[in-house]
């Protein structure tokens, strides 16, 4: 008998923001397959118009509490590009360090609290408090440590305070640097245990070939903060051409726009970065890659979580290297007071700037157009999750027919896990606009 399946998941849980899944199979044939984004639109780009470029980072950080540091860094990069500011070497190092903290914090949250419950057969981390108490304690301990590291570096993780256009309003003192180093080195046993845990988990087997997009560069560094835009289909473009990459279009069921490049959709995130830059990972992260048998180009979307683990190991080790390099060498004269630049210490000009930064869920673009007084005239933010949404739907379309012999409940779980593996940040992804730049 041909099967009918009707799945409607309202308010998908253990993701950031509000999304619904709708699947309809009629007589064994897939009729509907959608990821609806139903987050209430918040109109950030619209609200930015008329505000000072020196407020952009503070406001856009509020797009997302999970990747607040990533939005901050993309926003600052776009603002400095528009203003014509080149950050100092020291500022760049500190920003890379901040991005590592964000990557670690977000990936650990995703691996332990959002994904692990599925693979251990429970509905959330709460039942794990009884059954896997050590695992939950480790997760919360690691989460707290990354949070504390951000507290030291930028005041706090959710909406960082001291990272601004021009540099940092407060620099970590020598004791802070030592404390951060101790905390990171002390994290190594917990990271080893995390690798062990993920190695023991069984991820679903599913493959679909797609295009992966991430920052690429000619340097030997695994690029997070700076680079050009690259794809596994061989595209390479300057960040200023980001709109030729994203080619956004509106679909009625989603307050997040969709994106496509060489194919009908593309994917961003840890797996995309791994697929494009795996040879640049830290040697310790490469050991994990070998142990897990992960090879580029990996086309199982469920393994995005494994790629996140690999990045955790990389970021932990690279953060230690950055701190060892900064220790004893920080120039405190670089500490700045910015506010709204009331006294014009930072020269202001009209301009158009782009920020392209790898944040936990993939490449993030901010773009501002400012007038000669530094007032924002146009703004655009393109969020990783919106770039992934189309790709998730194509994954679902291939997956559902392959698992039709399962029960409705099992199909629902498989689809929920697929969507969760992308670590979607839906609260982020609903802020888009059709922009027409005056002097683009």
Partner 1 sequence: MEKPKVAFFDFACCEGCQLQVANIGEGLLDVLGSIDVVEFREVMSEKWDKELDVAIIEGSITNPHAVERIKQIRERAKVLIAYGSCATIGGVNGMKNNFSFDDIRKYVYGDSYQFFPTEITKAVHQAVKVDYFVNGCPIYIPEFITVLKAVLQGIPYDVPDYPVCVECKLNENVCMYDREVTCLGTVTKAGCNSWCINNGNICYGCRGMVSNPNEKGAQDVLTKYKIPMDLVLNKMNMYNKCREIF
157 interacts with partner 1 by CB under 8 A: yes
By CB under 8 A, name the one of 101, 168, 203, 422 that touches partner 1.
168
Q: Which two tokens stand for residue 24?
A: 């309809």
Shortest spacing between CB 261 and partner 1, in angstroms: 21
Q: How many CB atoms lie within 10 A of CB 38?
A: 17
Could you give the CA distance from residue 175 to residue 168 in angstroms, rounded to a whole number?
A: 17
**Cβ–Cβ < 8 Å for 106, 66:** yes
Shortest Å distance, C-beta 91 to partner 1 = 14
- Taking the C-alpha atoms of residue 80 and residue 338, their distance in angstroms, rounded to an integer, is 13
Strands 19-26 and 5-9: antiparallel
262 near partner 1, judged by CB under 8 A:
no
* Burial (CB count <10 Å: 0-12, 13-18, 19+), residue 201: middle
Among 338, 346, 350, 403, binds partner 1 (CB under 8 A): 338
Q: Which two tokens stand for residue 39?
A: 């987050």
Q: Is 24 in the site for partner 1 (CB under 8 A)?
A: no
| Site track 51-70 with partner 1 (rule: CB under 8 A), x = hit | x---x--xx--xxxxx-x--
Cα radius of gyration (the chain): 21
Using alpha carbons, select from 272, 423, 328, 405 the residue that is nearest to residue 90.
328
Q: Find the binding residues for partner 1 in span 101-140 (CB under 8 A).
A: 109, 113-114, 117, 123-126, 129, 136-137, 140
Rounded Cα–Cα distance for residues 177 and 158 (Å): 21
158 sits near partner 1 (criterion: CB under 8 A): yes
Enter the DSSP assignment of 212. E
Cα 76 to Cα 58: distance, rounded to the nearest angstrom: 10
Per-residue tokens: 100 = 């590592």
Out of 1, 2, 27, 50, the residue judged to bind partner 1 by CB under 8 A: 50
Is 3 or 49 the residue whose CB approaches partner 1 more closely? 49
The DSSP secondary structure of 29-74, one letter per residue, reads: EEEEEEEEE-PPP--HHHHHTTSBGGGHHHHHHTT-SSSHHHHHHH
Minimum Å gap between C-beta 354 and partner 1 is: 19
Helix, strand or coil, per DSSP, at residue 414: helix
- State the nearest-atom distance from the C-beta of 289 to partner 1, in Å: 28
Which position among 72, 75, 164, 387 is part of the footprint of partner 1 (CB under 8 A)? 164
Q: Applying CB under 8 A, does 293 fall inside the site for partner 1?
A: no
Q: Does 42 bind partner 1 (CB under 8 A)?
A: yes
Contact indicator for 383, 427 with CB cutoff of 8 Å: no
- Residue 342 binds partner 1 (CB under 8 A): yes
Task: State yes or no: residue 386 binds partner 1 (CB under 8 A).
Answer: no
Long-range contacts of 246-253 (CB under 8 A, 24+ apart): 246/365, 246/382, 246/387, 248/382, 248/386, 248/432, 253/34, 253/36, 253/37
How would you class 392 by CB atoms within 10 Å of its CB: exposed for 0-12, middle for 13-18, buried for 19 or more? Answer: buried
Contact between 433 and partner 1 by CB under 8 A: the answer reads yes
Is 347 a binding residue for partner 1 by CB under 8 A? The answer is no
Told to check if 346 binds partner 1 by CB under 8 A, we report no
Least CB distance to partner 1 at residue 281 (A): 27
Q: Among residues 6, 40, 247, 290, which is the contact residue for partner 1, using CB under 8 A?
A: 40
Tell me whether residue 272 or residue 425 sits nearer to partner 1 (CB atom).
425
* Smallest separation, CB 173 to partner 1 (Å): 12
Task: For the sheet with 5-9, list strands across it.
Answer: 5-9, 19-26, 29-37
Judged by CB under 8 A, the stretch of 141-149, 190-198, 320-328, 365-373 that binds partner 1 is 141-149
Report how far residue 132's alpha carbon sits from residue 121's, in angstroms, rounded to the nearest whole number: 12
CB of 231 to partner 1, least distance (A): 26
Residue 335 found at the interface with partner 1 (CB under 8 A): yes
Residue closer to partner 1, measured from CB, 42 or 263: 42
Number of chain residues interacting with partner 1 (CB under 8 A): 70
DSSP strand pairing (266-267 vs 211-216): parallel
Q: What are phi and psi of 149, to 5 degrees?
A: -60, -40
Between 47 and 299, name the residue whose CB sits nearer to partner 1.
47
Residues that bind partner 1 (CB under 8 A): 11, 13-18, 39-43, 45-47, 49-51, 55, 58-59, 62-66, 68, 109, 113-114, 117, 123-126, 129, 136-137, 140-141, 143-144, 147, 154-159, 161-162, 164, 168-170, 250, 252, 255, 335, 337-340, 342-343, 427, 431-434
């Amino acid at each position: 008998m041909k099967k009918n399946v009707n799945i409607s998941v309202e308010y998908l849980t253990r993701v950031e923001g509000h999304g619904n899944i709708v699947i309809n199979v009629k007589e064994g044939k897939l009729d509907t397959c959608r990821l609806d984004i139903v987050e209430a639109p918040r109109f950030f780009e619209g609200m930015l118009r008329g505000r000072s470029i020196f407020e952009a980072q503070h406001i856009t950080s509020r797009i997302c509490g999970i990747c607040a540091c990533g939005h901050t860094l993309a926003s600052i990069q776009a603002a400095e590009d528009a203003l014509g500011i080149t950050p100092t070497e020291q500022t760049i190092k500190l920003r890379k360090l901040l991005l590592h903290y964000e990557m670690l914090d977000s990936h650990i949250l995703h691996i332990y609290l959002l994904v692990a419950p599925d693979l251990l057969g429970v509905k959330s981390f709460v039942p794990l408090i009884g059954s896997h108490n050590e695992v939950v304690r480790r997760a919360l301990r690691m989460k707290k440590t990354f949070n504390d590291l951000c507290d030291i570096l930028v005041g706090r993780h959710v909406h960082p305070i001291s990272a601004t256009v021009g540099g940092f309003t407060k620099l970590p003192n020598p004791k802070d640097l030592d404390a951060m180093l101790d905390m990171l080195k002390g994290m190594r046993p917990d990271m080893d245990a995390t690798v062990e845990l993920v190695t023991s988990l069984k991820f679903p087997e599913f493959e679909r070939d797609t295009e992966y997009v991430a920052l690429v560069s000619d340097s030997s560094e695994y690029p997070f903060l700076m680079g050009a835009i690259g794809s596994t289909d061989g595209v390479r473009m300057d960040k200023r051409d980001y709109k030729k990459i994203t080619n956004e279009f509106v679909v009625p069921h989603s307050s997040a726009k969709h994106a496509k490049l060489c194919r009908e959709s593309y994917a961003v995130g840890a797996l995309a970065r791994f697929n494009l830059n795996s040879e640049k990972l830290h040697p310790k992260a490469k050991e994990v890659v070998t142990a897990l048998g992960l090879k580029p180009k990996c086309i199982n979307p469920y393994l995005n979580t494994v790629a996140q683990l690999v990045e955790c190991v990389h970021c932990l080790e690279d953060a230690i290297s950055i701190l060892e390099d900064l220790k004893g060498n920080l120039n405190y004269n670089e500490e700045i007071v910015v506010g709204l630049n009331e006294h014009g210490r930072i020269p202001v000009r009209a301009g158009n700037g782009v920020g392209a930064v790898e944040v936990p869920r993939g490449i993030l673009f901010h773009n501002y157009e400012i007038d000669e007084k530094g007032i924002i005239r146009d703004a655009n933010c393109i969020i990783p999750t919106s770039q992934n949404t189309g790709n998730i739907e194509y994954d679902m379309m291939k997956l559902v027919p392959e698992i039709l012999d399962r029960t409705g409940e099992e199909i629902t779980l498989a689809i929920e896990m697929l969507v969760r593996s992308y670590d979607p940040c839906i609260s982020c992804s609903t802020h888009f606009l059709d922009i027409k730049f005056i002097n683009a």
